[in-house]
Chain A
Amino acid sequence: MKSRDTDLMLVNAYVDGELDASATLAFERRMAKDKTLQAAHGRVVALQNALAAKLRPAQISDSMQQRIATAFGPSTVPKALRFDWRQMAASAVVAAMLGGGATLVGLQRFAPSNSFDAIVAGHERSLLAATPVDVVSSDHHTVKPWFDQRLAVSPPVPDLAAEGYALVGGRVDIVGGKPVPTLVYKLRQHLISLVAVPHVGGSDEQAVGKFTTRDGYSVLTWPGSDFTYSAVSDVPKSELEAFAAKWRATGPAE
């Protein structure tokens, strides 16, 4: 039955927010008068809620993250690599790689191993990407749980809008081969990435930040109680220090 097909697609598109404003309005008017549409809508929503509540995104194991980061990232001997060479040799990819003279081992030598490089690279990638964040939200109540779900850790997310630093959202960066939470704030037209690398053991809350520059970006790093924070941006040192001071003073917003 063709019209039923179409109606069901319409219900789905409505639930997924894929209808434009006028189509949404028209559909809502229709649905208000049509019990069968309401029933279909209720079922799609129930399913969507169940999937969102029960299914967790796959967590990548540390060992696998390390393995791939090792293959193409930091410079260590690829002993930990568990590639099945026989299987790989069968693939055209490997043939091409070997044919091209490049081997995984050969690639090991060139690797940005320094975490500052990784932090700045994360910031740069965010500027190149269509959006600098993976979760867009000015609300820390959205950003914190998003990190919790993805990484099982989340840094404090203070609300600094009143100070002129609007929260843009959060993303996942890779530092030292591990995924870490990064907050993104906006100061005028400048983005400030705040990378929070979890660490074990306490730290001096009063410790002074360490300032450095990479590729023309300023990086300010300071230790917190559970994370080591690095703020990176293209703003001058004084502005980055002002941001860090406000961020530390405001503390966690719960």
Chain B
Amino acid sequence: MNETEQRRKFNSLVLPHLASALSLARWLTGDATDAEDVVQDASIRAFRAVETLRGEQPRAWLLSIVRNTAFTWLAKNRPKSLLVTDDEKVFEQAEAQMFATPRDGTAETELIAKADAENLQREIAALPIAYREVLVLRELEGMNYREIAALLQIPVGTVMSRLSRARALLVQRIGRDQAEERKPK
């Protein structure tokens, strides 16, 4: 592939998905400036590799490059953020709460509906990265389970259990935040 073609392919296949790339990088690094660095680095890699892009969805292809770039970046600059402390008890408790049917069951879904963007963002950012990335790819990038599994190179069953846990934890924490906020002083 000559360079003109390479540029053309990059332009038409990769550039349209930069916003998705930036969004994922933000969620993974937790910082707008760091995300721009990651996307720039990922763009260079994508440009170098664009000739290998055949048949795959360009967006999923770019996102997987962004994801790998982000993890490399985090390992170098913020290794602590990659430590996943799987606290089974925390998850189990959150999962149990999902099935609870107390009188205030309706009230809790109303509290979630009232949560503002800042609250949602904060709680998503607080999720362990392995859970956060699955949630973000599903809820914000609208990818289905199989696409997420392919992108992260994990089994679909793992996607399902991480997503399920991520949502349970979010419901619990957002509900709690909102209840705190609305408590009469």
Contact = CB atoms under 8 A, between A and B. Distances in A.
B is bound to A: yes
Interface of A: 1, 4-5, 7-9, 11-13, 16, 18, 35-40, 42-52, 54-60, 64-65, 67-69, 71-73, 83-84, 87-88, 91, 93-94, 96-97, 102, 107, 110-112, 117-118, 121-122, 124-125, 128-130, 134, 150, 171-174, 177, 179
A174 B115 contact: no
B109 A13 contact: no
B129 interface: no
Nearest to B118: A54
A69 to B, nearest CB: 6
B98 A60 contact: no
B140 A129 contact: no
Interface in B126-183: 138-140, 144-145, 160-161, 163-164, 167-168, 170-171, 174
A169 B96 CA distance: 41
Contact of A8 (B98, B101, B139): B98
B26 A9 contact: no
B101 A55 contact: no
Residue among B4, B41, B109 facing the most chain A CB atoms (10 A cut-off): B109
Interface residues of B, number: 64
B10 A12 contact: no
Contacts of A150: 19
B158 to A, nearest CB: 11
Contacts of B9: 125
Q: Is the interface of B mostly helix, strand, loop or mixed?
A: helix
B30 interface: no
Nearest to A120: B12
Q: Classify the interface of chain A: helix, strand, loop or mixed.
A: helix
A35 B13 CA distance: 47
A117 B57 CA distance: 22
B140 A4 contact: no
Contact of A69 (B15, B108, B145): B15
A225 B142 CA distance: 33
Contact of B145 (A13, A47, A49, A58): A13
B96 to A, nearest CB: 7
Contact of B47 (A72, A84, A111, A172): A72
B74 interface: no
B78 interface: no
A161 to B, nearest CB: 25
Among B8, B11, B43, B112: residue with most chain A CB under 10 A: B11
B109 A174 contact: no
A125 B13 contact: yes
A72 B11 contact: yes
Nearest to A128: B13
Nearest to B165: A8
Contacts of B96: 1, 4
Contacts of A59: 19
B167 A60 contact: no
B11 A36 contact: no
A51 B41 contact: no
A37 B100 CA distance: 9
